Amino acid sequence: MGLDDALIFTRVVEYHSFTQAAQSLGMQKSTVSRRIALLEERLGVRLLNRTTRKLRLTEVGQAYYERCRQIMLDFAEAEQAVTQLQKDPSGLLRITAPIEFGQLFLGRLLGAFMRDNPQIIAEVELTSRQVDPVEEGVDIVIHIGQPQDSSLVARMLCENPRRLCASPLYLELNGTPQNEADLAAHRAILMPHDSPRYWPILGQNIPCHRVLSSNNISFGREAALAGAGIAALPMMMCEEEVRSGQLIELLPDARLPMGELYALYPSRRFQAMKVKAFLDFLMTHLPVENGRLLEPSAARLLTSRL
């Protein structure tokens, strides 16, 4: 049974008229009459007894109408449910994000969003691996660096500059580099995606003496705090430590790669309201100043006021 045929038949029965049914469907009366005749021919039964003045359902037609009417009601209910999902944020929201961003920012921001949108259920994976949102059924992927997949929509959230930092103890024992070339003689703590051969200085190939590398930025920061070496840390991960003197910023004029943060998702077309609403919330409430991500304490202060 085609849904079109079911709709036409249902309208004819409910209007008791081919003419009015045709008008409601925006069709010619002759087209409606022909479609009903073809439907009866395909089914091999008479559904309607019709005269010039009246339409009456046959017994088989009555049973067929009741089934068609229920199908139309179910179809209308399904459309209404989908439309409602587009009006109010609801349903399962699946997000992946870098571990540190998730711990320092996303937990509080998502929590505040869910408080205001109680129909949202969230699943969050904090990971350093590459995630394909289409293949894995993820609604939003928070991603550091320029995205490689051009088929995805990439919405830039902020920039996250990096600083060369070391502990006072390390500098006391190993000296303080006075220029970028001096870094070649120092111990390097490498962050995720850093080259194992060179310091992450743009436009330079300064060899590095790697003593530690990790896929976790927090781990590298803690090693730097303990005096293991010099690390190129994202500002969001070291601002408080630099302010308190636990870490010393080195060579502030050195040009380090910028760690842009993007939200990746499959398509803007027919975007689910839960995705649109959370992205808008994230863009509005993420602690950003002049495009730069601020320290975690700014996120804590912000969310306490939401």
Task: Give pLDDT, residue 289.
Answer: 80
Q: How does the average pLDDT of the chain come out, rounded?
A: 87
Residue 299: pLDDT over 80: no
**Rounded CA separation 52/205 (Å):** 92
pLDDT tens digit sequence for 25-74:
888 988 888 998 888 888 888 988 877 677 888 888 888 888 888 888 77
Question: Which two tokens mark 17?
Answer: 């008229």
Sort 304 into a burial class: Cβ within 10 Å, 0-12 / 13-18 / 19+: exposed
Task: Give pLDDT, residue 227.
Answer: 97
Task: Give pLDDT, residue 110.
Answer: 95
**Which of residues 294 and 65 earns the better pLDDT score?**
65
| Least confident span in 8-17, 68-77, 262-271, 295-304 | 295-304
Arithmetic mean of pLDDT, 292-299: 69
| Least confident span in 37-41, 104-108, 146-150 | 146-150
Q: Which amino acid is at 42?
A: R
Percent of the chain with pLDDT over 70: 91
Task: Give pLDDT, residue 71.
Answer: 84
Q: How confident is the model at residue 183 (pLDDT cuts 50, 70, 90)?
A: very high
**Rounded CA separation 261/195 (Å):** 20
User: What are the angstrom distances between the C-alpha of 257 and each of 96, 144, 146, 162, 210?
Assistant: 23, 12, 11, 7, 18
> Could you tell me the domains of the chain?
3-87 (1.10.10.10), 91-151+264-305 (3.40.190.10), 162-250 (3.40.190.10)
Q: How confident is the model at residue 135 (pLDDT cuts 50, 70, 90)?
A: confident
Task: Give pLDDT, residue 94.
Answer: 95
pLDDT tens digit sequence for 110-132:
999 999 999 999 999 999 888 98
| Those residues with Cβ within 8 angstroms of residue 276's Cβ, 6 or more apart along the chain or in another chain | none
**Rounded CA separation 79/298 (Å):** 42
Task: Give pLDDT, residue 19.
Answer: 87
Task: Give pLDDT, residue 268.
Answer: 62
- Is the full-model pTM beyond 0.75? no
| Least confident span in 3-7, 47-51, 83-87, 281-285 | 83-87
